[in-house]
């Protein structure tokens, strides 16, 4: 039943990689801001991933993945072109409404660079002036700079270690952009929770509307389990069906970060067990090769 | 009926009730009086010919019994296990007025299981009607509607968002109550009728309801998505890491096989002491799953008393046998933080029952100054669900003020050709009620499509095309 074939793969660094998965119907339905839930195998877990791009002509959707845990590491190893995913469902979540903002800063941190791209492109197509601020830890992790250059009126590239672009975090990039463009109507920030939190704190004194995209722990992605509940203002909302985009100035990021650590112990255990299995497989392979 | 020993079964996922042997079934069927007024049938939401099938069991003709059951109920092996018989057929049994009622549910299960074991399936001769019917959700409502529409000759496609069909039967009800092979057997029977299942499909988002009718060529659509959105209590500590909904616990454990972590990737760490809030069937399932995952102590926290608990009597009895500690008339007021984002305990207040409320149950009132704390490290909410918002967000369907889909008495929605039934219309209810709704919607759908329904009188009113019934014998109407 798995017919979600991987049509293309690109590796950006030893942890970040891109997959294009064939699903013509989803490519047609997907809108910026939505996500999918992927299962690698029948024994796998359900992993929510933001749709980084979609190609309606070729019938593919693009996912950018960072190999950090057991499942994503396994995906990095097993998702070759021609292979298939066991399950792919979506697009999920409320699409980002097409904003009528005239001047927007699109901020992407690390892996968040990917999901902010379709939003930046949609805004550009809508006639807005788009200022891109993308940040990475260092030069060798940079990806999609070219894609952003093609759609942004201005691009600020930041790196934590100063190996490329502006030396500093994306918040420094936002400050710089705001200095030059005090008339920005909206900021869209996507990335790790700590990065989104600092972006929100950067824009709060300027009273600029800041939208963030949340990616908490989920099971079904259809509003059924409540695992992805987040505190927004005084309300409890489910990121999967009420989001994933929320007004960043209302989001309780500390609560989100605590909840993301919910299964830390089990995640470590799964990863260690998997790595042990990989090492065993490698030594078997080496032994087989040596005996030939 | 034989059951697994409570101490042993509280640690495994094997089915609790072992089912009847043929001799047991025969002995039980002897107890039925075959009384002429058949009160049991009126207690059944789908109106199964109960004395009829019991008579066949008694005649040692399980195949005949299966034929009678499947004429009205589609999934006897499932209903026999999960129906709240004490409030339905068995509750009205004449024998039950003086003795234990006839174990109708267990007999139904016996026949259903025999059919699965023997590989029986009643595939009727189906004449194609030329209509395409789409069904959203593969749970009990969707399965029942799919079966009826397939039998009426429609080309039926069932869409399911999860990677496996079955809905709440798969993700919610645990294996020890309803084993997966039973569900798969019933799904396979639907496939034999020509029903197609499309998993990994989130209707509303992958394509909309309107698209199904305008672009995809469906003549009618049934929505049976279930209620879905779990309720939280809204007390301090709700968002702590040791707090989750029963839906999440059950889905992780049953569908995602969290109980086999790390062989399966989905984790479900269980606490040492688990407090489950609520006393419905879902709550009982959550408690018994917690025990099987390895919890030392499991508490049931319910604000009313045992009499008001909505769970099936058998489930409460089983949970008690397995070692669940019940705290009736107790209500949580806060969840206590352990300082690192987890749960340390639960602060509760004692309740007393006041005047009956609009559900007819006595309203629980907190007793002033009765607050007390007790230790636990996992809190599971099984206090009901709200309407899932996806269909409402993505279509023009009219919803009621609680967010459920608005329907008329035939379960037709505000969109022509679109019907809805089950929890997404009524709010959380039972499997058999959802199946009943699926069948009612199918009847409405057949009328809408103009498919003649053999079970309904064709000429209902006094006149047809303006010709009165009295004159009908003299007039020939060309079809």
Domain end point (choices B118, B147, B169): B118
- A5: distance to nearest CA of chain B, Å? 14
Token look-up 């990917």 returns A114
Which CATH number does the domain housing residue B375 bear? Answer: 3.50.50.60
Helix B104-118 vs helix B62-72: angle between axes, to the nearest 10 degrees?
110
Q: Are residues B80 and B16 in the same domain?
A: yes
Alpha helices of chain A — where are they, by DSSP H? 24-29, 70-78, 113-125, 145-151, 170-180, 193-203, 239-242, 253-260, 264-291
The total number of structural domains that make up chain B: 3
Spatial separation of the C-alpha atoms in residues B303 and B305, rounded to whole Å:
7
pLDDT of residue B468: 61
At B475, the pLDDT band (50, 70, 90 cuts) reads very low
pLDDT of residue B463: 60
- B385: distance to nearest CA of chain A, Å? 9
Mean pLDDT of B4-17: 82
Q: Is residue B471 part of a domain?
A: no
Burial degree of A289 (CB within 10 A; 0-12, 13-18, 19+):
exposed
Q: Are residues B283 and B345 in the same domain?
A: yes
For residue B102, pLDDT over 60 is answered with yes
Which of B251, B264, B269 is facing A219, going by the closest CB pair? Answer: B251
Across chain B, mean pLDDT equals: 85
pLDDT of residue A102: 86
Domain end point (choices B68, B89, B118): B118
For residue B54, pLDDT over 50 is answered with yes
pLDDT of residue B476: 47
Q: Does A290 touch chain B (CB under 8 A)?
A: no
Mean pLDDT of A262-271: 84
pLDDT of residue B465: 62
Q: Is residue B468 part of a domain?
A: no
Token look-up 């950006």 returns A12
Q: Is residue B104 part of a domain?
A: yes
Nearest chain A residue to B266 by CA distance is A45
* Long-range residue pairs from B67-73, CB within 8 A, at least 24 positions apart, any chain: B67/B122, B69/B108, B69/B111, B69/B112, B70/B122, B72/B46, B72/B47, B72/B48, B73/B46, B73/B48, B73/B108, B73/B435
Q: Does A194 touch chain B (CB under 8 A)?
A: no
Nearest chain B residue to A230 by CA distance is B239
Spatial separation of the C-alpha atoms in residues A93 and A238, rounded to whole Å:
10
pLDDT of residue B455: 53
Mean pLDDT of A171-197: 88
Whether B230 sits inside 8 A of A225 (CB atoms) is: yes
Cβ neighbours of B27 (radius 10 Å): 12
Whether A220 sits inside 8 A of B201 (CB atoms) is: no
Q: Are residues B113 and B10 in the same domain?
A: yes
Which tens digit of pLDDT belongs to each residue from B284-308? 999 999 988 888 889 999 998 888 8
Mean pLDDT of B106-114: 89
At B416, the pLDDT band (50, 70, 90 cuts) reads confident
Which of A34, A229, A266 is facing B267, going by the closest CB pair? Answer: A266
Mean pLDDT of A253-281: 85
Q: Does A241 touch chain B (CB under 8 A)?
A: yes
- B387: distance to nearest CA of chain A, Å? 10
Burial degree of A192 (CB within 10 A; 0-12, 13-18, 19+):
middle
Q: Is residue B240 part of a domain?
A: no
Whether A266 sits inside 8 A of B261 (CB atoms) is: yes
- ipTM of the predicted structure? 0.87
Q: Are A173 and A133 contacting, i.e. CB atoms less than 8 angstroms apart?
A: yes
CA B57 to chain centre: 26
For residue B479, pLDDT over 80 is answered with no
Q: Are residues B340 and B396 in the same domain?
A: no
Whether B247 sits inside 8 A of A225 (CB atoms) is: yes
pLDDT of residue B454: 57
Nearest chain A residue to B161 by CA distance is A89
Whether A226 sits inside 8 A of B232 (CB atoms) is: yes
Phi (first) and psi of residue B174, to 5 degrees: -70, 160
Which CATH number does the domain housing residue B111 bear? Answer: 1.10.1060.10
Q: Are residues B391 and B378 in the same domain?
A: no
- Percentage above 90 pLDDT, chain B: 20
Give the length of chain A. Answer: 292
Across chain A, mean pLDDT equals: 88
At B477, the pLDDT band (50, 70, 90 cuts) reads very low
- Domain interval for residue B85: 6-118
Which tens digit of pLDDT belongs to each residue from A91-150? 999 998 877 888 899 999 888 898 899 889 888 888 888 898 999 988 888 888 888 888
- B260: distance to nearest CA of chain A, Å? 10
Residues of B in contact with A265 (CB under 8 A): 269
B45-49, B91-95, B463-467: which range is least confident on average?
A: B463-467
Mean pLDDT of A241-254: 89
Q: Is residue B255 part of a domain?
A: no
For residue B461, pLDDT over 60 is answered with no
Mean pLDDT of B427-442: 85
Which of A34, A236, A270 is facing B262, going by the closest CB pair? Answer: A270
The contacts of residue A26 (CB under 8 Å, 6+ apart) are A36, A54, A61, A88, A90, A91, B206
pLDDT of residue B159: 94
Q: Are residues B314 and B212 in the same domain?
A: no
Q: Are residues B161 and B86 in the same domain?
A: no
Q: Which domains does chain A have, with CATH numbers?
A: 4-92 (2.40.30.10), 96-213 (3.40.50.80), 216-281 (no CATH)
Spatial separation of the C-alpha atoms in residues B433 and B44, rounded to whole Å:
10
Q: Does A39 touch chain B (CB under 8 A)?
A: yes
Spatial separation of the C-alpha atoms in residues B233 and A38, rounded to whole Å:
31
Q: Are residues B351 and B371 in the same domain?
A: yes
Q: Are residues B86 and B62 in the same domain?
A: yes
Spatial separation of the C-alpha atoms in residues A27 and B389, rounded to whole Å:
23
Q: Are residues B61 and B13 in the same domain?
A: yes
Q: Does A3 touch chain B (CB under 8 A)?
A: no
Nearest chain B residue to A95 by CA distance is B205
Helix (H, G, I), strand (E, B) or coil at B19: coil
Q: Which two tokens stand for residue A51?
A: 């749709």
Q: Which of A94, A223, A274 to mutate against chain B (most B CBs within 10 Å)? A: A223
DSSP string, A92-135: ESPPPP----SEEEEEEEGGGHHHHHHHHHHHHHTT-EEEEEEE
Q: Are residues B110 and B198 in the same domain?
A: no
- B206: distance to nearest CA of chain A, Å? 6
Q: Is residue B193 part of a domain?
A: yes
Q: Are A2 and A84 contacting, i.e. CB atoms less than 8 angstroms apart?
A: yes
Which tens digit of pLDDT belongs to each residue from A42-86? 888 899 999 988 999 999 999 999 888 888 888 888 888 888 999
Which of B163, B230, B261 is facing A226, going by the closest CB pair? Answer: B230
Which of A25, A226, A261 is facing B206, going by the closest CB pair? Answer: A25
Mean pLDDT of B49-60: 88
Euclidean distance between the first and the last CA atom of chain A, given in angstroms as a whole number: 38
Chain B residues with a Cβ under 8 Å from any Cβ in chain A: 161-163, 171, 199-202, 205-207, 226, 228-230, 232, 234, 238-239, 241, 244-245, 247-248, 251-252, 256-257, 261-267, 269, 341, 388-390, 393
At B462, the pLDDT band (50, 70, 90 cuts) reads low
For residue B407, pLDDT over 50 is answered with yes
Q: Is residue B263 part of a domain?
A: no
At B381, the pLDDT band (50, 70, 90 cuts) reads very high
Q: Is residue B457 part of a domain?
A: no
pLDDT of residue B68: 86
pLDDT of residue B469: 56
Burial degree of A257 (CB within 10 A; 0-12, 13-18, 19+):
middle
At A29, the pLDDT band (50, 70, 90 cuts) reads very high
Q: Are residues B80 and B150 in the same domain?
A: no
Mean pLDDT of B402-424: 87
């Amino acid at each position: 039943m798995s017919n979600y074939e991987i049509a293309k793969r690109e590796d950006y660094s030893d942890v970040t990689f891109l997959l294009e998965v064939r699903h013509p119907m989803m490519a047609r339905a997907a809108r910026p801001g939505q996500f999918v839930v992927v299962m690698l195998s029948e024994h796998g877990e359900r992993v929510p991933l933001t749709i980084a791009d979609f190609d309606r002509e070729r019938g593919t959707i693009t996912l950018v993945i960072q190999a950090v845990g057991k499942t994503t590491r396994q995906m990095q190893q097993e998702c070759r072109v021609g292979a298939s995913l066991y399950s792919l469902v979506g697009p999920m979540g409320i699409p980002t409404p097409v904003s009528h903002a005239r001047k927007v800063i699109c901020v992407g941190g690390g892996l968040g660079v990917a999901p902010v791209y379709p939003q930046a492109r949609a805004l550009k197509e809508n006639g807005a002036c788009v200022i891109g601020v993308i940040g990475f830890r260092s030069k060798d992790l940079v990806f999609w700079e070219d894609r952003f250059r093609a759609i942004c009126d201005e691009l600020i590239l930041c790196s934590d270690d100063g190996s490329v672009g502006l030396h500093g975090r994306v918040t420094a990039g936002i400050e710089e952009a705001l200095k030059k463009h005090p008339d920005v109507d909206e900021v869209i920030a996507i990335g790790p929770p700590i990065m989104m939190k600092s972006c929100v704190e950067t824009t709060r004194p300027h009273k600029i509307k800041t939208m963030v995209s949340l990616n908490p722990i989920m099971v079904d992605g259809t509003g059924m389990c409540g695992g992805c509940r987040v505190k927004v203002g005084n309300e409890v909302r489910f990121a999967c069906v009420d989001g994933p985009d929320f007004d960043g100035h209302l989001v309780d990021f500390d609560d989100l970060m605590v909840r993301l650590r919910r299964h830390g112990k089990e995640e470590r255990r799964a990863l260690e067990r998997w790595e042990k299995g990989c090492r065993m497989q490698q030594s078997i392979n080496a032994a087989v090769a040596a005996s030939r | 009926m034989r059951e697994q020993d409570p101490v042993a079964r509280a640690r495994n996922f094997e089915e609790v009730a072992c089912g009847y042997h043929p001799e047991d079934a025969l002995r039980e069927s002897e107890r039925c009086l075959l009384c002429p007024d058949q009160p049991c049938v009126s207690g059944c939401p789908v109106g199964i010919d109960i004395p009829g099938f019991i008579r066949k069991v008694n005649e040692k003709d399980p195949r005949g019994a299966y034929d009678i059951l499947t004429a009205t109920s589609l999934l006897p092996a499932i209903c026999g296990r999960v129906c709240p018989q004490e409030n339905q057929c068995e509750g009205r049994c004449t024998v039950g007025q003086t003795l234990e009622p006839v174990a109708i549910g267990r007999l139904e299960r016996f026949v259903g299981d025999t059919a699965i074991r023997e590989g029986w399936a009643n595939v009727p001769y189906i004449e194609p009607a030329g209509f395409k019917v789409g069904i959203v959700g593969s749970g009990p409502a969707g399965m029942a509607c799919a079966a009826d529409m397939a039998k009426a000759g429609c080309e039926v496609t069932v869409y399911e968002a999860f990677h496996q069909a079955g809905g709440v039967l798969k993700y919610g009800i645990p294996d020890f109550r309803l084993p997966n092979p039973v569900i798969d057997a019933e799904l396979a029977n639907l496939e034999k009728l020509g029903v197609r299942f499309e998993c990994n499909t989130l209707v509303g988002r992958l394509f909309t309801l309107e698209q199904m009718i305008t672009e995809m060529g469906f003549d009618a659509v049934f929505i049976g998505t279930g209620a879905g959105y779990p309720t939280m209590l809204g007390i301090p500590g709700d968002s702590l890491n040791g707090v989750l909904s029963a839906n999440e616990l059950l889905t992780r454990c049953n569908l995602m096989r969290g109980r086999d972590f790390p062989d399966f990737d989905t984790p479900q760490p269980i606490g040492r002491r688990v407090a489950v809030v609520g006393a419905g069937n879902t709550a009982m399932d959550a408690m018994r799953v917690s025990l099987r995952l390895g919890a030392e102590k499991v508490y049931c926290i319910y604000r009313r008393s045992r009499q008001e608990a909505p769970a099936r009597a058998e489930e409460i009895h089983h949970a008690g046998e397995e070692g669940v500690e019940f705290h009736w008339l107790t209500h949580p007021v806060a969840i206590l933080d352990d300082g690192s984002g987890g749960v340390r305990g639960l602060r509760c207040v004692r309740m007393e029952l006041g005047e009956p409320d609009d559900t007819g149950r006595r309203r629980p009132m907190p007793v002033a100054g009765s607050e007390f704390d007790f230790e636990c490290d996992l809190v599971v909410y099984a206090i009901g669900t709200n309407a899932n918002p996806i269909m409402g967000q993505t279509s023009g369907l009219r919803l009621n003020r609680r967010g459920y889909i608005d329907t008329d008495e035939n379960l037709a929605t505000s969109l022509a050709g679109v019907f809805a039934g089950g929890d997404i219309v009524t709010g959380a209810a039972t499997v058999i009620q959802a199946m009943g709704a699926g069948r009612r919607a199918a009847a409405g759908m057949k009328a809408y499509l103009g498919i003649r329904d053999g079970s309904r009188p064709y000429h209902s009113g006094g006149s047809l095309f303006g010709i009165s019934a009295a004159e009908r014998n003299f007039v020939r109407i060309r079809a």
